[in-house]
Amino acid sequence: MDNLHHKPIKSFSLDGNIYDDSAIARLKIEYIKLLLIEMKTLGYVPRLDIDPDFTIRYNKEVQIFEFKLTTYGIYVGKKKIEWIIGLDGTKVIYTQKSKLKEFLRDRV
């Protein structure tokens, strides 16, 4: 595998409004998941050593919370994306290959 940690880091951002302060924590998690799905669709894996940036500001005039969320990723390609969870510093974190196919083949 080539040195992924030397590839350029791309940011993925999402901004919007939250109307209920009790939903901020839950929505932050959901929006991070949404950005990770977008990244993987484009062939990027997250940089696990760089935390997502989440900034929030209360707008008194319209009584809403305005937010911006940014996550960071590295391009690995659409084929390799299936086997890589993310990049942590210089370490590539791989998924475990499924043993289901081997198990089913042995049982037949």
pLDDT per residue, tens digit, the chain (108 aa), is 467 778 899 999 999 999 999 999 999 999 999 999 999 999 999 999 999 999 999 999 999 999 999 999 999 999 888 889 999 988 888 887 655 555 555 555
Which residues does 55 contact at the CB level (< 8 Å), separation at least 6?
Answer: 67, 68
Which residues constitute the domain of residue 49?
A: 4-107
For the entire predicted model, the pTM comes to 0.80
Which of 89, 91, 12, 87 minimizes the C-alpha distance to 45? 87
Number of domains in the chain: 1
CA dihedral sign, ordered 73, 78, 80, 82: positive
CA distances from 86 to 34, 40, 63 (A): 16, 10, 37
